[in-house]
């Protein structure tokens, strides 16, 4: 396992005449993490396994712990920032049973920032982190009613695996698993 700083570095992107920054979630930005996560849960409630009602009750100490948990050797989180305001989020963790498998979680971009390249940049930050940890595949779950996200993931190299699970917050929905190989072409 690598713990190099380069896997937690800040990326600066200039997109459509604006500058966006992708930075790791760490305890010092836990309150920004809280803000964007709660915004995501409000905006897209069926895109997540948790709820705004549940997470809005977390204390600041809970958010600092979550930020710490998302900045270790087995998990990572990134924030997309636009002039100091968080406008996107993505996280990942390595599987306990198969460290060659990483899962992309909590992916969200604010509606005003969609189709600007931020989502693609968040996924690339996750891919880079996962490769640096020796993962070969990146997996995610997406709800059946989120056709825009399914298409976004397809455009970014993910494919349906055929695995489905019930969505925990609404029995009328299911979740589809999607995955992609993240091996460098020279190591395949």
Local confidence band at 11 (pLDDT 50, 70, 90 cut-offs):
low
Query: In the chain, which ranges are continuous DSSP H helix?
Result: 30-43, 52-55, 60-69, 118-132, 147-155
CA dihedral sign of residues 111, 115, 119, 125: negative
Give the pLDDT score at 186: 45
Residue 1 has pLDDT above 90, yes or no: no
Local confidence band at 18 (pLDDT 50, 70, 90 cut-offs):
low
The total of structural domains in the chain comes to 1
Give the pLDDT score at 50: 95
Higher pLDDT, 104 or 183: 104
Q: Phi first, then psi: what are they for 173, rounded to 5°? A: -110, 155
Instruction: Say how far apart CA 35 and CA 29 lie, in whole Å.
Output: 10
Name the nearest CA neighbour of 182 among 102, 87, 80, 81. 102
Give the pLDDT score at 44: 95
Give the pLDDT score at 6: 38
Higher pLDDT, 36 or 18: 36
Domain of 71, in residue numbers: 5-187
Give the pLDDT score at 8: 46
What is the pLDDT of the chain when averaged over all its residues? 89
CA distances from 60 to 27, 29, 71, 141 (A): 11, 11, 17, 28
Structure-block tokens of residue 141: 């779950």
Tell me the pLDDT tens digit for each residue of 135-174.
999 999 999 999 999 999 999 999 999 999 999 999 999 9
Residue 2 has pLDDT above 80, yes or no: no
Instruction: Say how far apart CA 42 and CA 33 lie, in whole Å.
Output: 14
Tell me the pLDDT tens digit for each residue of 43-98.
999 999 999 999 999 999 999 999 999 998 899 999 999 988 899 999 999 999 99
Residue 15 has pLDDT above 90, yes or no: no
CATH assignment at residue 67: 3.40.630.30
Residue 7 has pLDDT above 60, yes or no: no
CA atoms within 13 A on the CB side of 65: 5
In sequence order, the β-bridge partners of residue 85 are 82
Instruction: Say how far apart CA 73 and CA 61 lie, in whole Å.
Output: 21
Q: What is the pTM of this model?
A: 0.87
């Amino acid at each position: 396992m690598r713990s190099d700083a380069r896997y937690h570095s800040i990326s600066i992107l200039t997109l459509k005449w604006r500058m966006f920054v992708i930075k790791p979630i760490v305890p010092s930005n836990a309150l920004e993490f809280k803000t964007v996560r709660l915004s995501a849960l409000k905006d897209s409630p069926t895109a997540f396994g948790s709820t705004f009602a549940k997470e809005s009750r977390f204390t600041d100490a809970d958010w600092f712990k979550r930020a710490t948990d998302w900045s270790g050797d087995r998990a990572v989180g990134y924030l997309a920032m636009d002039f100091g305001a968080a406008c996107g989020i993505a996280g990942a963790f390595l599987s306990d049973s198969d460290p060659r498998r990483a899962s992309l979680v909590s992916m969200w971009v604010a509606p005003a920032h969609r189709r600007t390249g931020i989502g693609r940049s968040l996924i690339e930050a996750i891919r880079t982190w996962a490769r640096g940890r020796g993962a070969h595949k990146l997996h995610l779950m997406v709800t059946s009613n989120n056709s825009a996200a399914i298409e976004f993931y397809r455009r970014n190299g993910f494919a349906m695996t055929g695995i489905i699970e019930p969505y925990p917050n609404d029995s009328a929905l299911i979740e589809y698993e999607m995955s992609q190989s993240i091996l460098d072409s020279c190591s395949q």
